[in-house]
Amino acid sequence: MDRPLRAANDTEPVLTRARSQAIARVALVLALAATGLWVLHPFLPALVWAAILAIALWPLYARAEQRWPSIGHHVALPALFTALVAIVFLAPLVVLGVQAAREAHDALTWAKEAELNGIPAPEILNNLPFGAAQAMAWWNENLSHPSAGSDLLHRFDNSSVLGMTRSLGSEIVRRVVLFGFTLVTLFFLFRDGRAIIAQGLTASAKLFGPRGERVARQVVASVHGTVDGLVLVGIGEGFLLGLIYYFTGVPHPVLLGALTAVAAMIPFGAPLVFGIAALLLLAKGAMVAAAIVVAAGLVVTFVADHFVRPALIGGTTRLPFLWVLLGILGGVESFGLLGLFLGPAVMAALMLLWREFTDTESHA
């Protein structure tokens, strides 16, 4: 009787020591993870963007590996794909920059003309259904003479303009640095992608079992569907409405078409841009053309937001349209542009867990 009791008493310190070591290991891992996140937090947006781009482009990269096996997969092919991503992002920015420089020249010319001769009344005032004479009289009295234009322009003092320029310059530099880190990270994700995938699957299997792999695959599928549903559909909306802008005589249709494509990536964001395009036409007195722009914009965005986009995102993630919409809008509110892709991915993972939980309960 004494020997079993002595053996039980001997195992108690061993179990206590093992439990203490397990708690210490968990605490160490959590402390190191928190420290690592704190060290990397300035670059987390760049890392997340690189991961999203790598997930979205991985099927194309895998096909390229199979199609051109002779290309060096450790340097040449990752560098080629990274360079293509850089071109895709930088080329529109260069076009927008050139267009903005032209607009700045036109704005300076308009400012000089307004300072010398005042601000001319827009044509739309003559086409108002009521109150046209009163509106024209007020404009001519307050804005059409040279002193009004000079007073308006002098409100923008040099100090405020200089401060805005400095803040804008620093923000541009920060964005350029983050974009550079995104490209560097993307190169290594392409180069070591297969090893990272294998390690991720092994880690998820050890931590969460088969359910972890299913959640990871659902998140990846959500990113693919979101890229197709937001980016590609947004580009399509911008292209179609850009053609409408061109044929209806909207000023600077290329610039407004590009802005429409960017805004259309957020659901219900495109009406803001084609509304501005319609106002520009109204300012010129082209009421019929403005009505065409508004009507065409509403039709394009309605079809894209209610049929094409839900089919691409919801079909891939198995999410109802309401949860797709809430994931996108809530993600943008919480994480900015990153939320466009993180929001639906989180909703898709939660929906998968909920379905598995309820299925388990129903079969129990």
pLDDT surpassing 70 at residue 4: no
pLDDT surpassing 70 at residue 166: no
What are the tens digits of pLDDT across the range 72-120? 567 888 999 999 999 888 877 777 777 667 766 666 676 666 666 666 7
The pLDDT of residue 219 = 81
Q: How many CB atoms lie within 10 A of CB 301?
A: 23
What are the tens digits of pLDDT across the range 214-224? 878 888 888 87
Only one residue has tokens 């620093």, namely: 170
The pLDDT of residue 244 = 92
Eight-state DSSP code of residue 163: H
pLDDT surpassing 70 at residue 159: no
- In this prediction, residue 186 has a pLDDT band, given cuts at 50, 70 and 90, of very high
The pLDDT of residue 83 = 92
75 burial type by CB count under 10 A (0-12 exposed, 13-18 middle, 19+ buried): exposed
pLDDT surpassing 50 at residue 364: no
Task: Select the more confidently predicted residue: 75 or 131.
Answer: 75
Mean pLDDT for the stretch of residues 21-33? 83
Q: Which helix (H) or strand (E) holds 62?
A: helix 44-67
- In this prediction, residue 193 has a pLDDT band, given cuts at 50, 70 and 90, of confident
Mean pLDDT for the stretch of residues 12-33? 78
What are the tens digits of pLDDT across the range 305-359? 777 877 777 666 667 777 877 888 888 888 887 888 888 888 888 887 887 778 7
Contact by Cβ (8 Å): 301, 293: no
CA distance 88 to 133: 50
CA distance 117 to 144: 7
CA distance 73 to 62: 10
Average pLDDT, the chain: 78
Mean pLDDT for the stretch of residues 17-40? 83
Task: Select the more confidently predicted residue: 124 or 6.
Answer: 124
**Nearest CA-CA partner of 280 in 305, 304, 244:** 244
Only one residue has tokens 């198995």, namely: 318
* % the chain with pLDDT above 70: 74
Mean pLDDT for the stretch of residues 186-215? 84
pLDDT surpassing 60 at residue 207: yes
What are the tens digits of pLDDT across the range 236-293? 898 999 999 999 988 888 888 888 888 888 777 889 999 999 888 887 778 888 899 9
**Nearest CA-CA partner of 216 in 353, 34, 33:** 353
The pLDDT of residue 299 = 93
Q: How would DSSP label each residue in 168-206? A: HHHHHHHHHHHHHHHHHHHHHHHHTHHHHHHHHHHHHHH
Contact by Cβ (8 Å): 353, 347: no
- In this prediction the pTM is 0.71
Maximum distance among all alpha carbons in the chain? 112
The pLDDT of residue 363 = 47
pLDDT surpassing 70 at residue 134: yes
Task: Select the more confidently predicted residue: 27 or 14.
Answer: 27
Task: Select the more confidently predicted residue: 162 or 182.
Answer: 182
pLDDT surpassing 60 at residue 5: no
